[in-house]
Structure 1
Amino acid sequence: MSVEELTSSYVTVYTNRQFYRVLTAAFTHVLPIHILMNLVYLYNIGSVLEPSLSSNIFLSFYFLVLVLGGFISAFIHKMYLPNTPSLGASGALCGLLGIYIAIIITIYGENQLGFIIPTIGILCLQVFWKRIDSIAHFSGLLTGIVIGVLYLKMLGY
């Protein structure tokens, strides 16, 4: 099976109704540096976020932002480049960052966000890198913020 058969795009997900591609794309990486960077990012955000949520909630949120963010990203691509391939776990990882941002702002206040400004800056710079699907990153981030806010509301914050 080729990498192209595992990526997602508007055409493959919505037009061809191959919904599984949102999942396969998230677990497909072409370059070793891509998976290495995602693993480092997962370790960094996971080591802080998982203990505060529990392993089951963390895993559930990971898959929730992966799926919702993937579908949103593919849909947004419809307007510009419907065949844009998307792959990797970066969108889901940005979703975890969004959940973390929601928790930090709600519980500790926005003045505690200073240490993640470099991470957000890197996300913003990626808009200019042609080989990176920035829409997947930002749809994951925004999906994560919404999920984080809803989760905190359920907890009474």
Structure 2
Amino acid sequence: MEIPLLDFIYKIRYDVSNKTIQFTGAVMKEKKAVFTIALIVINIAVFAVETIAGGSENTQVALKFGAAYAPLVFSGDYYRLFTAMFLHFGAFHLLMNMISLGVLGPAVEKLFGKIRFLLIYLIGGIVGNVLSMYLDVWLDRNALSAGASGAIFALFGAYLVMALSKKFTGLSVPRVLIAIVISLVPGFEMHSINMTAHLGGLIGGFIVSLILLPTVGKKRRLK
């Protein structure tokens, strides 16, 4: 009997998610993911302040708090490439990103180390926002952009480096690639999702992880 394509995709999504959660659980038993937790708390706190200030989906509030907007960025508001990572449009947007950060973050933080994890997350997120702003100018689109998605996809880039590297064991390259593809799929279906930031974050995270890899100590394995 043939399995419908949608059912097949959900089966893969469940399998990959289950393995990833097991992987993350093993990491968190060994050492608390302090920086991952701190980032989640900061994002939630910023969202609360946005809501009190007039609503996280209010354009003026988003601009006031530092959402990325190409005309302003290229006029000198470069800080928006950083601050936009901590802003979200609505509770669902925040929830999905924080769940993803909670699942992906601990392994990168444990295996790369806290400072390297933070560098991967922040630099990858900035790279995603930079590429997004340049594409907006090229397409004359000038859309408002915010969210931690680019930084979270940077962690996917780190996962890929971990899976490819001989310094880490316990991760499968095919599973990581499947997880990346599945996570990118909604972006092709929903125009409100900033695919450029996702892809830019993925590329940025991969490159930063490769650069930092030689500074990681002895071979590490998750049991």
TM-score range, shorter chain: 0.7 to 0.9
Residue 22 of structure 1: how far off its partner (Å): 1.3
Could you state the TM-score of these two structures normalised by the residue count of structure 1? 0.86
For 1:26, what is the secondary structure of its paired residue?
helix
Contact in 1 for aligned 2:116/2:212 (Cα 8 Å): no
1:7-62 per-residue CA deviation (whole Å, 9 max, x = no partner) reads 21322211x21111112211111211111111111111112111101112212222
Measured after TM superposition, the shift of residue 155 of structure 1 is 5.3
Percent of aligned positions that are identical: 25
Alignment of 1:68-107 (within 5 A): 68-107=127-166
Q: What 5-or-longer segments of structure 2 have no aligned partner? A: 1-59
Judge conservation of contact 2:129–2:150 (CA < 8 Å) in 1. yes
Distance 1:68 1:30 in 2: 20
Q: Identify the structure with bigger relative contact order (alpha carbons < 8 Å, sequence gap 6+).
A: 1
Q: Which residue of 1 aligns with 2:184?
A: 123
**Which segments of structure 1 move beyond 6 Å, counting only runs of 4 or more?**
none
- How far off its partner does 1:154 sit? 5.1
Which is worse superposed, 71-80 or 28-37?
Answer: 71-80
Kept in 2, the 8 Å contact 1:103–1:149? The answer is: no
Query: 1:70: how far off?
Result: 1.7
Note if contact 2:125-2:201 (Cα within 8 Å) is conserved in structure 1: yes
Name the counterpart of 1:3.
62
Q: Cα offset for 1:65?
A: 1.4
2:99 is matched with which residue?
A: 40
Find the residue that maps to 1:85 and give its secondary structure: coil
Q: What secondary structure, in the 3-state scheme, does the structure 2 residue paired with 1:51 have?
A: helix
Q: Name structure 1 gaps, 5 residues minimum.
A: none
Instruction: Tell me, in whole angstroms, the C-alpha distance in 2 between the residues paired with 1:18 and 1:148.
Output: 27
Q: Tell me which of 129, 136, 154 is aligned to 2:197.
A: 136
Aligned letter for 1:148? S
Q: Give, in whole Å, the separation in 2 of the partners of 1:115 and 1:130.
A: 27
Number of aligned residue pairs: 155
d(CA) in 1 for partners of 2:191, 2:102: 26
Instruction: State how far apart, in whole Å, the 1-side matches of 2:188 and 2:200 are.
Output: 13
Q: Higher Cα Rg: structure 1 or 2? A: 2
What TM-score results when the alignment is normalised by the length of structure 2? 0.62
CA contact (8 A) 2:70 2:136 kept: yes
Report how far residue 133 of structure 1 moved: 0.7
| Residue 82 of structure 2 corresponds to residue 23 of structure 1 | yes
Q: 2:140 & 2:85 partners in 1: Cα distance?
A: 19
